Amino acid sequence: MDNHNAVRSDRALVDELGDAWLIAPSTEPTVRDLLVEATHTVRELLATHGRPPSSMTVRAGGIAIELAWDGPQTIAERPVATAEPVAAPVKHHIGAPTVGVFYRAPAPGAEPFVAVGDTVKAGQQVGVLEVMKLMVPVEAGQGGTIVAVLRTDGEQVEFDEPLFELAPITS
């Protein structure tokens, strides 16, 4: 926070307040000085609370300024300018539904079911596993974009072994 600006604002506030509520001519030590002190405190309180007070009382005689906030009197952290909170990228995998031999395409030489960058829907077939001459489809459990293919064509895999990395679609 820029201190210089804060002091200037304080003076501006004091001038306003002085115009509105200062009735008695100033005497020494000046009420003005006390007001400056008080308004400075008010500024701080307003700044540290994230929301405006529910009530405010200002008395000029003897200087009394009361501010009140509803709810718990916790001092909120001074709002710090931060970037929008970015969720750490969650890695989602499409795992092997069975132990078997992993194939990326429905037949030798055919186009792979999916490639990196493809968007897939939940339930879409992305590969196939051969178990004892039986073909078991590998399906995406959720929609998303294929980020990486983790096993090569023809590789033997165990149950639940990650085959694809998937970036889920965020709504």
Partner 1 sequence: MTDGFSTVLVANRGEIAVRVARACREMGIRVIGVRSSADPEPAVARLADRVVHIGPAAPKRSYLNGSAVIQAALMTGAEAIHPGYGFLSEDADFAAACAESGLVFIGPRPDVLHRLGDKALARTAMAAAGVPLLPGSIEPARDLVDAKRIADDIGYPAVIKAVAGGGGRGITVVRTAAEFAEAFRATTTEAQILFGDGRVYVERYLPDARHVEVQVLCDRYGNAVHLGERDCTTQRRHQKLIEETPAPGLPRELLDRMSEAAVRGVLAVGYEGAGTVEFLVDSAHEFHFLEVNCRIQVEHPVTEMVTGIDLVRQQLHIAAGGKLPFTQRDIRPRGAAIECRINAEDPDRDFAPAPGVLREFSPPTGPFVRLDTHVYPGYRIPAAYDSLIAKLIVWGADRETALKRAMFALDEFRISGDGVKTTVGYLAAVLADPAFSAQTGDLGVSR
Residue from 6, 64, 116, 131 that binds partner 1 (CB under 8 A)?
131
What does the block give as tokens for 116?
């990196």
Check binding of 150 to partner 1 (CB under 8 A): no
Q: Shortest gap between Cβ of 129 and partner 1 (angstroms)?
A: 9
Binding footprint of partner 1, residue count (CB under 8 A)? 12
Q: Shortest gap between Cβ of 142 and partner 1 (angstroms)?
A: 19
Check binding of 139 to partner 1 (CB under 8 A): no
Q: Which stretch binds partner 1 (CB under 8 A): 33-41, 64-72, 82-90, 156-164?
A: 156-164
Residue from 46, 63, 99, 147 that binds partner 1 (CB under 8 A)?
99
Q: How far apart are CA 96 and CA 159, in angstroms?
A: 5
**Alpha carbon distance, N-terminus to C-terminus of the chain:** 37
Closer by beta carbon to partner 1, 87 or else 134: 134
Q: How far apart are CA 98 and CA 130, in angstroms?
A: 9
Closest CA to 18 of 67, 63, 68, 66: 63
Residue from 74, 132, 152, 170 that binds partner 1 (CB under 8 A)?
132
Residue from 37, 66, 156, 169 that binds partner 1 (CB under 8 A)?
156
CA angle 107, 113, 114 (to 5 degrees): 145
Per-residue interface string for the shown chain with partner 1, residues 13-52, x marking contact by CB under 8 A: ----------------------------------------
Rounding to the nearest 10 degrees, give the CA dihedral for residues 34, 37, 40, 41.
-100
If one counts every other C-beta atom within 10 angstroms of the C-beta of residue 163, the result is: 23
In sequence order, what are the residues at sequence separation of 6 or more whose Cβ sits closer than 8 angstroms to the Cβ of residue 48? Answer: 75, 76, 78
Q: How far apart are CA 63 and CA 38, in angstroms?
A: 8
What does the binding site for partner 1 look like in residue numbers (CB under 8 A)? 98-101, 131-132, 134, 156, 158-161
